[in-house]
Amino acid sequence: MGTNNVVFLEVIEWLDPTGDRMMQRIPETGSGEIKFGAQLVIRESQVGVFFYNGKAIHVFGPGRHTLQTANIPILNKIMSIPWGFTSPLRAEVYILNIKTFTNQKWGTKDPVAFKDSQLGLIRLRAHGLFNVRIVQPLLFINSMLGTVGGFSTEDLSDYFSSIIVSRFNDYLGEHLDTMFNLPGTYDQVAEGLKKQLQEDFAHFGLDLPSLYINAITPPLEVQQAIDDKSKLGIFNNLNDLMKMKSAMAVEKAAQNPSGGEGVAMGFGLMMPAMLSRQFAPQPEAAVQATQKCPDCGQQIPAEAQFCLFCGHQLLVFSQCVKCGKNLTPFAKFCPQCGQPVTPVAQKKHCGRCGYDNLFNATFCNQCGERL
């Protein structure tokens, strides 16, 4: 160091402890007194640009360089001054980090407008990551840096994030018809967007190796509309939904261990009739008689022998005197509470339909006749 703010430079090098610095100017302000024969150290991930009188006169790659006429032929003219080769140079050196800077974030600060062919004009938010690197050091210095003392990815990220968002909006308008076609196309959209952005980055001596889209999200009400459309795609109408629930009820009843072999045989005989009645087209004007399932409380057709919603068996041989659980013809104990099954002889016979009811029943379980 000298007096009067004059910097005498003998060894010029730069190490970046942060990992996000793209350039460092030495010295940071003004020009320094670089001695003839000074050592310039450039590392593998760096490149150095030597400036004299505001002009770039030489670019240095990795290695140790001696600033003398042997390495910089143009110094012959620069040093041809009255006081000879022992005088220092008033110059500056820009050292640039040419590695790939990863994990640079971009995103929409405000929602961008998108005209959806099915949903109309909606507003979208998007965010993601991009990687960037310097490929033309001198162009980068002249177009992006000017005379600043240092430059980091934070200085670059805000500007290029706004460019990415602008191109993103244009790209979606040209290549995407509706949000319903967006799932599974993030990679395709990101690749197309990256190609459009290459020229924008190249204007500043930069390359865009990679660009990623993490999410594209519409407003909550649009997300709800998308969910509703997905549901309609699964269930075209309520009739299809009822058919599906009927099949699920049959499957649930078949897995009920209380039925034993008798229930399994009953299912084999009754399933074709049940499915044929359920899937057959119903006249719109017909009013179907219903009954209430004693297990889940849902209204079901009066002639149904199993509940369409929970699979509860409606046609039973008897019921448990203790808990009311439906019993199969060969059951000796209640599968729910373990109560011994009442013999058939003690059951009440309905005079109207002939159904054998529980001995303490007041109304027929089949037709509702008072016993």
CATH number of the domain that residue 214 is part of: 3.30.479.30
Residues of the chain with pLDDT under 70: 1-9, 30, 69-89, 147-149, 226, 229-242, 244-245, 250, 253-288, 312-318, 328-330, 342-349, 357-360
Q: Using CA atoms, how far apart are residues 176 and 90, in angstroms rounded to an integer? A: 56
Residues 36 and 63 in one domain: yes
| Domain presence at residue 230 | no
Mean pLDDT over each residue of the chain, to the nearest integer = 76
Q: In this structure, are 105 and 119 located in the same domain? A: yes
Last-in-domain residue among 97, 123, 153: 97
Q: How much is the pLDDT for 274?
A: 53
Longest dimension (CA), the chain: 136
- Is residue 76 situated within a structural domain? yes
Q: How far apart are CA 331 and CA 258, in angstroms?
A: 9
Number of domains in the chain: 3
Tell me, yes or no, whether 251 lies in a domain.
Answer: yes
Question: Do residue 17 and residue 89 come from a single domain?
Answer: yes
Q: Do 295 and 308 fall into the same domain?
A: yes
- Based on the fold, state whether residues 310 and 269 are members of the same structural domain: yes
Residue that finishes a domain, picked among 97, 113, 144: 97
246 in a structural domain: yes
Specify the pLDDT at position 328: 63
**pLDDT for 271:** 54
For the chain, the C-alpha Rg in angstroms (whole number) is: 42
Q: Is residue 370 part of a domain?
A: no
Q: What is the pLDDT of residue 66?
A: 82
Residues 58 and 172 occupy one common structural domain: no
| 61/146 same-domain check | no
- My answer on whether 129 and 181 are in the same domain is yes
Tell me if 91 is assigned to some domain: yes
Q: How many residues does the chain have?
A: 371
- Tell whether 208 and 112 lie within a shared domain: yes
The per-residue pLDDT for 246 is 73
Whole-number pLDDT of residue 229? 67
Buried b (16+ CB within 10 A) or exposed e, 286-325: eeeeeeebeeeeeebeeebebbbbbbbbbebbbbbbeeeb
Residues 6+ apart with CB under 8 A from 224: none
CB-count burial class (<10 Å; 0-12, 13-18, 19+) for 2: exposed
- Residue 61 domain-assigned? yes
Q: What is the pLDDT of residue 98?
A: 92
What pLDDT is attached to residue 340? 84
Taking the model in full, what pTM does it have? 0.54
User: In the listed set 49, 70, 97, which residue is the last one of a domain according to the structure?
Assistant: 97
User: Within this chain, do residues 22 and 106 fall inside the same structural domain, yes or no?
Assistant: no
In this structure, the answer to whether residues 185 and 87 fall within a common structural domain is no
First to last CA, the chain: 116
Region for residue 201 given its phi and psi (left: phi exceeds 0; alpha: psi -120 to 50; beta: otherwise): alpha
Asked if the structure places residue 148 within a domain, the reply is yes
Q: Which pLDDT score is estimated for 58?
A: 84
Range of the domain at 303: 238-280+289-357
Regarding whether 162 and 106 lie in a shared domain, the answer is yes
